Structure 1
Amino acid sequence: MSKQVEAQISDLNNQLDESSRNIQELNATKSRLIADNADIVRQLEEAESRIQALNRERSSLLAQLEEAKRNVDDEIRVRAI
């Protein structure tokens, strides 16, 4: 009977060791995923910032285009007179 108990204890210790290794692997994976997520969030924030800058530039260029169109229209009117 004691041999059976010792065998059970040995099996349980092996299961515990395996579970501990699995936990360590999962924690390492979790840490890697957290770091990856932080990097992706940073990249997203940078992309959003670039989008905002491009939208501001687009608005400025559209305003310049409208001004140029008005100048052309004014020039056409002056030459038509």
Structure 2
Amino acid sequence: MATQLLLHFPGFDEAQFDSDAENRANAGLTLLQRWTEESGPGHWLLFSVNDLPKAKAWLEKSSALGHGPAASHVLRTA
């Protein structure tokens, strides 16, 4: 069963996202897809998760630093 992480960012800082690439990789996250919202600056990002505890720790740290997503959802294939 594959685990994925879906994140929503109402605003998106491309430079911040790029600078965090190594931290995401160390947390076992691989970007699968990125969508932009048709009517605004929002972004949705879908990651493959290799290590859920590390991914959750990365998510908590990103939120504590003020650049985490507005919403996050852990998904598993059915």
What TM-score do the two structures reach when normalised by structure 1?
A: 0.21
The structure that is helix-richer by fraction is 1
What TM-score do the two structures reach when normalised by structure 2?
A: 0.22
- Please identify the structure whose Cα radius of gyration is greater: 1
The structure that is strand-richer by fraction is 2
Structure scoring higher RCO (CA < 8 A, sep ≥ 6) equals 2
